[in-house]
């Protein structure tokens, strides 16, 4: 078993329950970790034998571009697509952070983390 991590993927999005968030947007950070058997890729040196992290980044970018009220929702959509589109992935974890959320106070970020396991 191996792990591939995409860390500190920085994006701009329009998630949130407030009308201002829909119009102005916010900065977001995504950290994604996928677990898969990487033993064949470690020997073959072939892209088709591993989990393509360009594909992972594209899923993150596309789902973060779709507006939602809750970052929990966008996190789940990303996990669902990873398991649907990348059969070698056995499980995955994600953390989606909203940087400087408009919640009244000096808060650096709010982070939601979810995990999904292939059934």
Return the active site residues: 98
Total length of the chain: 119
Q: Are 55 and 2 in contact (CB under 8 A)?
A: no
Q: Are 113 and 78 in contact (CB under 8 A)?
A: no
Rounded-to-integer distance, Cα 80 and Cα 92, Å: 9
Which helix (H) or strand (E) segment holds residue 103: the answer is none
Rounded-to-integer distance, Cα 101 and Cα 118, Å: 32
């Amino acid at each position: 078993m191996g792990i591939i991590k995409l860390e500190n993927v920085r994006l701009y999005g329009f998630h949130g329950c407030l009308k201002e968030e829909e119009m102005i947007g916010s900065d977001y950070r995504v950290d994604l970790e996928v677990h898969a058997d990487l033993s064949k890729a470690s020997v073959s040196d072939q892209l088709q034998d591993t989990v393509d992290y360009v594909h992972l980044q594209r899923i993150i970018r596309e789902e973060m571009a779709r507006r939602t009220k809750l970052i929990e929702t966008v996190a789940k959509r990303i996990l669902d697509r990873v398991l649907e589109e990348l059969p070698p992935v056995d499980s995955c974890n994600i953390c989606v952070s909203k940087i400087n959320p408009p919640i009244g106070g000096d808060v650096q970020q709010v982070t939601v983390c979810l995990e999904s396991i292939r059934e």
